[in-house]
Amino acid sequence: MDDVHRKDLRLRALARVGFGAFVGLSALTLFGPVAVARHLVIVALGDSLTAGLGLPAEESFPEVLGRALRAKGYDVEVANAGVSGDTAADGLARFDWAVPDNADGAIVELGANDRLRGLDPAATEESLGEILGKLRARHVATLLAGMRAAPNMGADYQARFDAIYSDLAKQYGASLYPFFLDGVAADPKLNQKDGLHPTKEGVAVIVAKILPAVEALIGEVKR
């Protein structure tokens, strides 16, 4: 290859690089910085419904949700921070070590044990409010999963308890999923023998129903 041919090839290569840089710079000028996808960590802070009581670890809510999200192309880990028997106050007490500093998002599922024990809804609301306040202070995108009181608790208790979640979501700017057990509660085919905890099939229903809300949560994280 002669010197003239080599020089011509170098000039063409430089032209291509220069054109690419121009296109990149133009795109940046016109459209702003392009978001770069990154690995996300979502913490599911909850009680036995999150922990997966009575199920293999791989069939717990966080694990099934994580698989569903990754199947849709999200690079995400859903950490299981559920502890069986926890009330909202218990979740608050362990918040600082249960929710790591690298958490991008959180799903808060607490309150089921509060209503089973007939605890004062005001106390439950206070504990959940402190949890949401801590997450907001950390700038962690949050999805609050609601719970509902059983009718046998009485109309007054039911009204006070059920209002907790929508009120708190508005107050702290959290997203709201109105009822964590939607489509599963009171269905014997989707619950274990205790009638309280979902089976593998029940968890699948929960995940399918809550998935759009979690995808919206991920959208908040990537803003």
> Mind telling me the catalytic residues?
48, 194, 197
Quick check: helix, strand or coil at residue 191?
strand
CA 118/CA 125 separation, integer angstroms: 13
DSSP state at residue 111: -
State residue 195 phi and psi, 5-degree precision: 75, 5
Place of tokens 């949401």: 132
Q: In this structure, what token pair is assigned to residue 38?
A: 């990154």
Other C-beta atoms lying within 10 Å of the C-beta of residue 187 = 15
Q: At what angle do helices 61-71 and 200-221 cross, to 10 degrees?
A: 60
**CA diameter of the chain:** 94
Q: In this structure, what token pair is assigned to residue 3?
A: 């010197």
Q: In this structure, what token pair is assigned to residue 131?
A: 């949890």
Q: How far apart, in Å, are the Cα atoms of 112 and each of 16, 46, 118, 149? A: 62, 9, 10, 8
